[in-house]
Amino acid sequence: MLTFKEDQDFKALRGHILNPLSDTSCQCFPDGIIVARRKSGVWLVEALGDASSIAENYQLDLDDVPVNSGVVLPPFYDIHFHWVQDDVREMPKESLLEWLERYTFPEEARFADPDYSEVKAKHFWSRILATGTLGGLCYSSIHSVALDAAMKYAPSGFRIGGSLMTMNCPGFLRQTVDEAVGAASYGAKTYGDRYCITPRFAPTTHPEVMTAAAKLAENSGLFQQTHLDETIAEIEWVLGIYSEIDGFDDIQNYTEIYERCGVLGPRTVMGHAIHLEPEELELLAKTDTALASCPTSNAPPEDFGLGSGLFNFEQVESHGIRWALASDIGGGPFLSMFDVIESFVQQNRQIGRSSATYTKALYRSTLAGAEILEYGEAKGNFAIGKEFDCIQCQSPEGMRIPSNAEESIAQLIGQVRTRSDYDALVSSAVLNGEVIFERAPLKA
């Protein structure tokens, strides 16, 4: 539970505060204060620092400013997940294409029903907010009722797109070319830039649909998202399909298909991008396309992932390509970005990538995602002038929290016994200065 020192347009939040700045830097204030002030209805961060210096500057009596327990962080941004796959997160996963066919497509088909979509959306968004994810980039199903339901319950920090699917998928989840283009126009017209153009991936979406939707994205300033190079079997399948499509028979790799349809660019987020050829890395860099890495979804099946491989962040960074972490619900088994952070750190450390720190993972789960989604000027950390959003995470009662960021995050994560418990690590969430979620205190 969070308590503030506050009056009408002023709030001071005191506690152990972490403020991610970059891959290698995260401010840590073991006894810190965030000062926020309301201006024209928006709560903005006005100051951040050690409690003693803030108290002096603002002439506050520290005895009068309540100390909050646990750790205060900026909220998470999850830049690749499918809200309509919440019920297949823990289904058996042998391979991507089989899991889609057997569990995921039949589940997504249920969202044609407006009542089902409404009930599921209400439940899903209350759960994801309770894990501390207050923004991101999300896939819906092909149905406009599912998009409407998601837009109704998701806060404005989420951009959402209805999947466009016109070929190589079951009839019950297939649009005609005209229906897909119409669905994209509906989304853009109804939701403006909160709508994201979302061809599911090249094998299921006709190139003429991707091309028309990409034009709409360009003309309306929308984001685009799709999947790229997740598994070897998928790549072979895609290249086989496009080798027989006019105008694509000479393409050299998967990324080129998207380039030819106008999908690449600075407002595009490609999911996974694990098995990239050197030419693909160059193309992504040249077009300033961003990537979403989903380590829990890509993890081996024994860890409840699809066994797709490990994203090579060092290679991607050496090309100057922007990227952030994501859960890929339901390829990823759990909603919490803490689970994603731990998976990223452990999988990379196992193969000797020592720069895979908790500091880096926190940055890639907060500010990096907000920046890719063009919310970075207003959100993503506690920089002065940004909107006052935060989460409070529980820490063991009476335990001293380490006084540096890396160890603070490690301790938060280390207290959790099973992976599903990460979902409950967040005890409060604040959006634009208002508490939007509070977990009931645990009974002793």
82-141: which residues touch Zn ion (CB under 5 A)?
A: none
- 62 vs 310, which CB is nearer to Zn ion? 310
Q: Which pair of structure tokens corresponds to residue 151?
A: 């837009």
392-411: which residues touch Zn ion (CB under 5 A)?
A: none
- 293 vs 336, which CB is nearer to Zn ion? 293
Nearest to 335 by CA among 90, 19, 143, 100: 90
Smallest distance from Zn ion to CB 382, Å: 30
- 137 vs 409, which CB is nearer to Zn ion? 137
Distance, CA of 50 to chain centre: 30
Distance, CA of 251 to chain centre: 31
Smallest distance from Zn ion to CB 99, Å: 11
The stretch among 29-37, 58-66, 161-169, 263-271 that binds Zn ion (CB under 5 A) is: 263-271
Smallest distance from Zn ion to CB 330, Å: 9
- 131 vs 296, which CB is nearer to Zn ion? 296
- 328 vs 389, which CB is nearer to Zn ion? 328
Q: Which pair of structure tokens corresponds to residue 300?
A: 């081996």
Smallest distance from Zn ion to CB 223, Å: 15
Smallest distance from Zn ion to CB 134, Å: 20
Smallest distance from Zn ion to CB 226, Å: 9
The stretch among 173-181, 189-197, 280-288, 327-335 that binds Zn ion (CB under 5 A) is: 327-335
The stretch among 15-23, 54-62, 323-331, 397-405 that binds Zn ion (CB under 5 A) is: 323-331
101/96 Cα distance (integer angstroms): 9
- 43 vs 254, which CB is nearer to Zn ion? 254
Please tell me what DSSP assigns to residue 103: I
211/215 Cα distance (integer angstroms): 6
Q: How many helices (H) and strands (E) does the chain have?
A: 16, 16
The stretch among 48-56, 118-126, 265-273, 374-382 that binds Zn ion (CB under 5 A) is: 265-273
Beta bridge partners of 390: 430
58/49 Cα distance (integer angstroms): 12
205/227 Cα distance (integer angstroms): 11
Total residues contacting Zn ion by CB under 5 A comes to 2
266-285: which residues touch Zn ion (CB under 5 A)?
A: 271
Residue type, 216: L
208/186 Cα distance (integer angstroms): 18
6/400 Cα distance (integer angstroms): 27
- 36 vs 269, which CB is nearer to Zn ion? 269
DSSP helix/strand/coil, 418: coil
Please tell me what DSSP assigns to residue 100: I
Smallest distance from Zn ion to CB 80, Å: 6
> How many residues make up the chain in this entry?
444
Q: Enumerate binding residues for Zn ion (CB under 5 A).
A: 271, 328
